[in-house]
Amino acid sequence: EVQLVQSGAEVKKPGESLKISCKGSGYSFTSYWIGWVRQMPGKGLEWMGIIYPGDSDTRYSPSFQGQVTISADKSISTAYLQWSSLKASDTAMYYCARHVGNPEYCGGDCFPDYWGQGTLVTVSS
């Protein structure tokens, strides 16, 4: 059974750094892209970017390029989403999602299929 288990809720202050995680199991972690999706309170879904754990190839949405860092540790089947300096506007639920499709290039027919349970990040002074 494919499972993505995310780290717990976080409460941080503006300016602080943060790294949240997503551990995959039940499938070959290095053979699928894995990405992150933001959902701000009461709002819709926003795709942030993806990483291919097999070779750490990473792509970002233009809206999130330079704002966050996506990484992965294939030795422990875990993907990460990281901020160096949080803002109040980063308050949101963050979901990781496995992407199924061409391992060499995620586009066109590549799409999120399995999702993590979400990590709530609250940034407040």
Partner 1 sequence: QSVLTQPPSASGTPGQRVTISCSGSSSNIGSNTVNWYQQLPGTAPKLLIYSNNQRPSGVPDRFSGSKSGTSASLAISGLQSEDEADYYCAAWDDSLNVHYVFGTGTKVTVL
Applying CB under 8 A, which residues contact partner 1? 35, 37, 44-47, 49-50, 59-62, 65, 95, 97, 107-118
Closest to partner 1 by CB, 35 vs 53, is 35
Nearest-approach distance from CB 52 to partner 1, in angstroms = 14
Task: Measure the CA–CA gap between 73 and 29, rounded to whole angstroms.
Answer: 10
Closest to partner 1 by CB, 5 vs 17, is 5
Closest to partner 1 by CB, 10 vs 46, is 46
Report CA-CA distances (Å) from 16 to 13, 28, 93, 122: 6, 34, 17, 12
Closest to partner 1 by CB, 38 vs 80, is 38
Nearest-approach distance from CB 107 to partner 1, in angstroms = 5
Nearest-approach distance from CB 82 to partner 1, in angstroms = 19
**Main-chain phi, psi angles of 89, to 5 degrees:** -70, -5
- Token pair 């066109």 in the structure block, residue: 108
Task: Measure the CA–CA gap between 107 and 122, rounded to whole angstroms.
Answer: 31
